[in-house]
Homo-oligomer: A and B are copies of this chain.
Amino acid sequence: MDMSKVVESDSSSVGSGVLQLSLDSIRESLIRQEDTIVFSLIERAKFPLNSPAFEESHSLDSENSSSLTEFFIREIEILQAKVGRYENPEENPFFLDNIPHSVFPTRKYPPVLYTKALSVNINKRIWDVYFKELLPLFVKPGDDGNYPLTAASDFACLQALSRRIHYGKFVAEVKYRDAPQDYEPAIRAQDKEALMKLLTFEKVEEMVKKRVQKKAETFGQEVKCITGDEKNYKVDPLVVSRIYGEWLIPLTKLVEVEYLLRRLD
């Protein structure tokens, strides 16, 4: 199967009736998610690194030894679970092992993903990558003390990145259904390398990287009433392209591999 169909074709669809999964809808969602990711990076870049928010404990409460950011995100995930966010198979929590029930009626999502592969969650890795590798690339060093807004902004980035990366589960499911015979030998052999090779389409990846670079140029420019020539981007567009190329695309494929490894369980 041609991966380019998943993210680039304009009309192909393998919509599987009851399960409502199509290449078109996946492609549209991934492209729209790029905007969300670029917006969230631009918003985070308003603040400097502010590492005390996420690095060490600044709690006054001796029972609470987590960083401000971890405390905030742990608590907000409980709250979001209470309004039903994690019933949506596109949403993957960072800290919830046992997801609290929603106190509101929730939408029933059709069972699109394979049950035994549904729980793939690499958010621990995304957390580390984000704070240790990505953040220093696109924010200024320094500390302005504005930790509450920084934590909220980090959470928006983390959720957007996590959603994109875990969308790999839907990509993998569609690709598997489209050509199970291509994937089954590698799945039965639990051969990660062979699966990664089947999932890699360099041309498509190059195009995604170019497109997000253009999005960072477009959304991160200073918009004035009279257009000048100087360009002063809020986030370096090449960095955004690099974030996609070095982390987001590989981590999405990692989710695809992990999903497929469980696809015949």
Contact = CB atoms under 8 A, between A and B. Distances in A.
How many of these chains are in the complex?
A: 2
Nearest to A160: B43
A72 interface: yes
Interface string A22-45: 000000000010011001001100
Contact of A68 (B83, B151, B156, B223): B83
Contacts of A59: 103-104
Given A39-B39, A85-B149, A149-B88, A104 B211 contact: no
Contacts of A132: none
Contact of A147 (B72, B103, B104, B149): B104
B210 A80 contact: no
A44 to B, nearest CB: 11
Interface in A4-59: 32, 35-36, 39, 42-43, 46, 58-59
Contacts of A211: 223-225
A133 B183 CA distance: 52
A148 interface: yes
Interface stretch (A123-131, A170-178, A191-199, A214-222): A214-222
Contacts of A72: 79-80, 83
A79 B75 contact: yes
Contact of A107 (B35, B60, B146, B218): B146
B223 A221 contact: no
Contact of A103 (B71, B102, B145, B225): B71
Given A72-B80, A83-B151, 19 more contacts: A35-B42, A39-B219, A60-B105, A68-B83, A75-B79, A76-B79, A80-B148, A83-B148, A85-B149, A88-B146, A88-B149, A207-B225, A210-B225, A211-B223, A211-B224, A211-B225, A214-B223, A214-B225, A219-B219
